[in-house]
Amino acid sequence: MCDLKRLAEVGKKGVTLLLCDSTNVEREGFSMSESVVGKTLDELVGKYKKERIIIASFASNIHRLQKIIDCAKKYGRKIAFTGRSMENVSEMAIKLGELKCDKGLIVDIDRVDMLEDNKLIIISTGSQGESMSALTRIAQDNFPKIHLCDNDVVILSSSPIPGNEKAVNNLINALYRKGCQVVSNELADVHASGHAYKEELKILHSLVRPKFFIPVHGEYRHLKNHQLLAKSLGMKDRNIIIPELGMQVEIDSDSMRFATMVPSGEVLIDGTGIGEKDSNVIRDRLLLSQDGVCAVLLSISRKSGRLTAPIEIASRGFVYHDEVSEVIRDAKVFIKEKLSELDLKEMELAEIRSTVRKLATGFFFKNTKRKPIVLTLISQNS
């Protein structure tokens, strides 16, 4: 429950800065009550008397987990938790007394195949279609403890977070392919958002009455619409800032302004290394994934500076097999002709490598519209 009285008291004392969630600022009205979700889950568990039920939800929503446990107890079913965060959160919540659940009601996930379908509810992570989550692995037959069948009902007790729609749709399709029945937020009231709707945000702003405001949590369009909402309630435009990631904001009693930037964003984990990677490395890997790599091998005489063997070119991930022989053949002829115009004897190896790389890159782009990474290998002989 939201303590509106306390918010009003804080607002009267004076609030310098409000940072407020913007995710559902575009949704009109008020969000649905969690009690409606509890009633719907009860109806669904009562409806599917013979089927095995799998419910995917956010592990952090303890109130939702309690409703599911209550339903299991009411209809004579056992509970099995799966997914690392679900297992950890439920275990800790039970220890702290925040989650009321008889020990005899919980069954280990390794023993679920010993129970009849109508005697079990599995509570899982993965409602957002995360690639390594328990439910996604179950749907892909990559979870040895649970195998889906046409007697399974999967309830997605959530709604897709903006940006996750495709992953959630892929998950639902995978579940249908297994013969499961799927109940999502579009079909029943199985999820109440934890993010305030527009009218609730209006109430918050009106009670808190901050001097400065920074909208947070959401895509840029959500932040912008939250800024417009604050302005419609009387806040001055100069007292609202939408900062970019890493941007510092300085605030004093009279003003709010942008300051310097600090390092921010993704932390890359590469093998055993953790931290920021050289941008050239990332650029090269992107090129490799998009246009592949070509290696040009030259054999050059130290004395004459002439080629002593035909140019060899090997490629991987560059062009289709039917095209590669013709493109490589023409590239060899082109590079050989251009090198014949140069005095290789007077050139340093590094200069030759650079020249060949530029020649090959230019030729490949002109003829294929691709820019593979070009490696030049030079063998010198007498």
* 22-80: pLDDT as tens digits: 999 999 999 988 889 999 999 999 999 999 999 999 999 999 999 999 999 999 999 99
Does any domain span residue 2?
no
User: How far from 164 is each of 168, 236, 244, 247, CA to CA, in Å?
Assistant: 6, 34, 22, 26
Rounded Cα distance, 268 and 286, in Å: 14
State whether 66 and 163 are in the same domain: yes
Q: What pLDDT sits at residue 304? A: 84
Q: What pLDDT sits at residue 159? A: 86
Boundary (domain end) residue, out of 183, 213, 237: 183
Q: What pLDDT sits at residue 321? A: 67
Rounded Cα distance, 142 and 126, in Å: 14
State whether 326 and 347 are in the same domain: yes
Domain count within the chain: 3
| Cβ atoms 226, 22 nearer than 8 A | yes
Q: Which residues are catalytic?
A: 21, 195
Dump pLDDT digits (tens) for 87-129.
999 999 999 999 999 889 999 998 998 899 999 999 999 999 9
Does any domain span residue 124?
yes
Give, for 224, the enclosing helix (H) or strand (E): helix 220-232
State whether 174 and 43 are in the same domain: yes
Boundary (domain end) residue, out of 183, 215, 242: 183
State whether 46 and 158 are in the same domain: yes
State whether 292 and 246 are in the same domain: no
State whether 233 and 370 are in the same domain: no
State whether 46 and 79 are in the same domain: yes
State whether 329 and 212 are in the same domain: no
State whether 218 and 317 are in the same domain: no
Percent of the chain past pLDDT 90, that is, above it, reads: 65
CATH number where 51 lies: 3.40.50.10710
| Cβ atoms 296, 360 nearer than 8 A | yes
Rounded Cα distance, 103 and 123, in Å: 16
Domain containing residue 369: 276-381
State whether 229 and 121 are in the same domain: no
Boundary (domain end) residue, out of 159, 183, 207: 183
